[in-house]
């Protein structure tokens, strides 16, 4: 279903009217985690001023450590909905448990499946039936074939509104959090008709890598990028070191505007 063999034209996925697909360089930005109404609104306004058309923000956070901030849950979803009402930006947010799919879908415009859940087949089937577009992140130890098969689980439930997101894979390299597999973009676009975006924030894990990796994404023909922003990264409850602040964001926006997407 997701293969390009039976579907030669590349697909466009619309999220609350915002297209992601060939010819687009959709900028999705927002806080890694929803912390407070003020922080989320400020991050959204920064993102929007820089040209972002979709708002990201995690209410359910899958953290490596059980002692780390786990997200605000439904309260976070309510904050996202308020910020959407204020800014008009459709919401992309993660769902980590099949039992929460209905709840998260009642707030979200796009459901995100994170790297750690790429092969959580019960979750994939549940999001496939939720009637919302899905962003499927590549498992940090998954092959491209496994990633596409995970997308197939969603598609099998009748949902072809799937965006693939390359977010870095685990290699021997420790200088970055994960290694952004930039070649996965053209490879996945060749094998599948689904749009492919990259996440330079979670792959690099460091603010200064976000702009160069975004440039690379545009050069290689990615259909969009998803990035973390925070009004006060030094106070962030999650992944502050990778969050962009206003100045970086303006430079990133200029890059996205100036480098024309490959079609
Ligand atoms: C995220 O985007 O908030 C996230 C946790 O990303 P990943 O699943 O790629 O680690």
User: Tens of pLDDT along the chain (263 residues)?
Assistant: 999 998 999 999 999 999 999 989 999 999 999 999 999 999 999 999 999 999 999 999 999 999 999 999 999 999 999 999 999 999 999 999 999 999 999 999 999 999 999 999 999 999 999 999 999 999 999 999 999 999 999 999 999 999 999 999 999 999 999 999 999 999 999 999 999 999 999 999 999 999 999 999 999 999 999 999 999 999 999 999 999 998 888 899 888 888 776 66
What is the pLDDT, as a whole number, of residue 20?
A: 98
Radius of gyration of the chain (CA): 16
Is the shortest distance between the CB of 177 and ligand 1 below 6 Å?
Answer: no
Answer yes or no: is the C-beta of 136 below 6 A from any ligand 1 atom.
no
Distance of alpha carbon 238 from the chain centroid: 16
SS3 179: strand
Best residue among 29, 167, 184, 237 to mutate for probing ligand 1, ranked by most atoms within 8 Å of CB? 167
Using a 6 Å cutoff on CB, does residue 180 contact ligand 1?
A: no
- Residue 256: what pLDDT? 85
By three-state DSSP, how is residue 90 classified? coil
Atom of ligand 1 nearest to the CA of 33: 3
Indicate the SS3 state at residue 66. Answer: coil
Residue tagged 């996202």 (tokens): 80
What is the position in ligand 1's atom list of the atom closest to the CA of 112? 2
Q: What is the pLDDT of residue 198?
A: 98
- Residue 228 Cβ < 6 Å to ligand 1: no
- Is the four-CA dihedral 166, 248, 260, 16 of positive or negative sign? positive
- Give the integer Cα–Cα distance in Å for 104 and 153: 19
Model ipTM value: 0.99
Q: Can you tell me the distance from the alpha carbon of 249 to that of 51, in angstroms, rounded to the nearest whole number? A: 9
pLDDT at res. 247: 86
Residues in CB range of 7: below 8 A, 6 or more apart: 193
The alpha carbon torsion through 201, 202, 204, 208 (nearest 10 deg) reads 20
109 sits in the region (left: phi over 0; alpha: psi -120 to 50; else beta) called: alpha
- pTM score above 0.80: yes
Residue 101 corresponds to which tokens in the numbers above?
């799919």
Query: Is there a contact between 79 and 72 (Cβ–Cβ < 8 Å)?
Result: yes
Is 58 a pocket residue for ligand 1 (Cβ < 6 Å)?
yes
Q: Are 243 and 207 in contact (CB under 8 A)?
A: yes
Give the DSSP letter string of 121-150: HHHHHHHHTSSS-EEEEPPTT--HHHHHHH
What is the signed CA dihedral for 252, 255, 260, 261, rounded to 10 degrees?
Answer: -30
């Amino acid at each position: 279903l997701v293969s390009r063999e039976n579907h030669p034209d590349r697909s466009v996925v619309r999220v609350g009217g915002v297209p992601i697909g060939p010819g687009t360089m959709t900028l999705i930005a927002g806080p890694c985690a929803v912390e407070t109404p003020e922080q989320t609104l400020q991050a959204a306004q920064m993102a929007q001023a820089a040209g972002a058309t979709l708002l990201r923000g995690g209410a359910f956070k899958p953290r490596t450590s059980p002692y780390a901030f786990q997200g605000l849950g439904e309260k976070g979803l309510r904050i996202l909905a308020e910020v959407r009402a204020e800014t008009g930006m459709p919401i992309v947010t993660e769902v980590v448990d099949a039992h929460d799919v209905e709840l998260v879908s009642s707030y979200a415009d796009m459901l995100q499946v994170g790297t750690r859940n790429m092969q959580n087949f019960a979750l994939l089937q549940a999001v496939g039936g939720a009637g919302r577009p899905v962003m499927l992140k590549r498992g940090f130890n998954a092959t491209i074939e496994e990633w596409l098969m995970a997308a197939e689980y969603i598609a099998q439930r009748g949902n072809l509104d799937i965006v693939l997101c390359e977010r870095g894979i685990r290699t021997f390299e420790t200088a970055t959090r994960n290694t952004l597999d930039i070649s996965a973009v053209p490879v996945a676009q060749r094998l599948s008709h689904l749009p492919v975006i990259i996440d330079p924030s979670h792959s690099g894990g460091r603010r200064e890598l976000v702009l160069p990796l975004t440039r690379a994404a545009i050069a290689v023909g990615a259909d969009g990028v998803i990035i973390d922003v925070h009004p006060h990264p030094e106070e962030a409850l999650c992944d502050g070191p990778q969050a962009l602040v206003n100045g970086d964001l303006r430079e990133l926006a200029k890059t996205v505007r100036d480098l024309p997407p490959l079609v």
